[in-house]
Amino acid sequence: MTSPATVTLANQITARLTATLAPTRLEVVNDSHHHAGHMGDDGTGETHFTVGVESAAFAGLNRVARQRLVNTALADLLATRIHALAIRARAPGEA
């Protein structure tokens, strides 16, 4: 069993988006090292992320609606632990 202290924030993001959006592709990149010492850096090395997600849940939705789905899935993490989140959300088959 994995201790909650050893579960990375990237793994938590992956688990939440997988459970919520059933993605066909998912990439979670920790960009925090690019922001060390900047505003929002809390010293954990887990504050800035880029998410690339492809899901059928995005079909027919505009960019803002897609980002809202991602933000809703991660709401408590965005409120407490994630300082910045870049989102690339696509439906299957989109370029």
Nearest partner of 82 among 8, 27, 22, judged by Cα: 8
**Structural domain boundaries in the chain:** 4-90
Q: What is the pLDDT along the chain (95 residues), one digit of tens a residue?
A: 455 556 899 999 999 999 999 999 999 999 886 655 666 555 566 788 999 999 999 999 999 999 999 999 999 999 999 999 999 999 999 98
CA atoms within 13 A on the CB side of 37: 0
pLDDT at 34: 62
Measured CA to CA, the distance from residue 22 to residue 25 in angstroms comes to 9
Query: Domain 4-90 falls in which CATH fold?
Result: GMP Synthetase; Chain A, domain 3 (3.30.300)
Measured CA to CA, the distance from residue 1 to residue 43 in angstroms comes to 27
pLDDT at 46: 79
